[in-house]
Amino acid sequence: AQSVTQLGSHVSVSEGALVLLRCNYSSSVPPYLFWYVQYPNQGLQLLLKYTSAATLVKGINGFEAEFKKSETSFHLTKPSAHMSDAAEYFCAVSVGLWDTGRRALTFGSGTRLQVQP
Amino acid sequence: KAGVTQTPRYLIKTRGQQVTLSCSPISGHRSVSWYQQTPGQGLQFLFEYFSETQRNKGNFPGRFSGRQFSNSRSEMNVSTLELGDSALYLCASSRGAIEKETQYFGPGTRLLVL
């Protein structure tokens, strides 16, 4: 079974500083990996996804993530934090075989990002 | 294109009652998944429907059920509500049932059980 571990339930950075949110996955088959963001009282919005094309994936709002198979990691970064980036971020993995009907996103526990002025 | 819509947005129920939540996927999307989000357990998969068939089910008791209609709209039902069912219920839709496809989430229905 697949799993996702997000290190750090809370991360605080200063405005303009580098954002690094960590995600490690466990999967017995090549995974598809996603980062979602959730603003208060809202649903989840996709930031970016890895589907085995390029290992460096660029997403919306200046975020990017790099798939590193040797480290089983998919960390999310942004060079310069903005106040509007304050939210909760979820890493998720999706594996399964279409013909067996096994398909679901398994989420990490989330990382709340605070941006200090 | 309209996004995923969920109704109602907020619900208050008492223990023992039942509740039905509704989800309308993005036009053209045939797969609908449901997730429960709580502070303690995080985001957990409930079930997925594709072309009116339940293709996958998470580890939830039988009190949680769902269905999908021919227009891809989906409902989930929770019977005999318990206090622990208080949560944000999120619906997500995607074009098909393929792992690498993006699931688009609705705003959720916040259920409070008293």
Query: What single-letter amino acid sits at B105?
Result: F
Given a cut of 80, whether residue A102 has pLDDT beyond it is no
User: Does pLDDT of A25 surpass 60?
Assistant: yes
Nearest-by-CA chain B residue for A44:
B105
Q: CB of B106 within 8 A of CB of B92?
A: yes
Helix (H, G, I), strand (E, B) or coil at A85: helix
HSE-CB at A58 with a 13 A cutoff on CA atoms is 3
Q: Which residues of B touch A49 (CB under 8 A)?
A: 100, 102
pLDDT digits (tens, 9 = 90+) for B48-100: 999 999 988 888 999 999 999 999 999 999 999 999 999 999 999 998 767 77
Judged by DSSP in three states, B53 sits in: strand
- A104 and B56: CB-CB below 8 Å? yes
Of B42, B99, B108, the CB nearest to A107: B42
Chain A residues touching residue B9 (CB < 8 angstroms): none
Which amino acid does the sequence have at A2?
Q
**Whole-number Cα distances in Å, A64 to A21, B41, B54:** 11, 27, 34
pLDDT level of residue A104 (50, 70, 90 thresholds):
confident
pLDDT digits (tens, 9 = 90+) for B1-51: 689 999 999 999 999 999 999 999 999 999 999 999 999 999 999 999 999
Can you give the pLDDT at residue B13? Answer: 98
User: What are B104-114's pLDDT values in tens digits?
Assistant: 999 999 999 99
The mean pLDDT value for A9-22 works out to 97
CB < 8 Å to A107, chain B? 35, 42-44
pLDDT at B97: 64
Distance, in angstroms, between A110 CA and closest chain B CA?
8
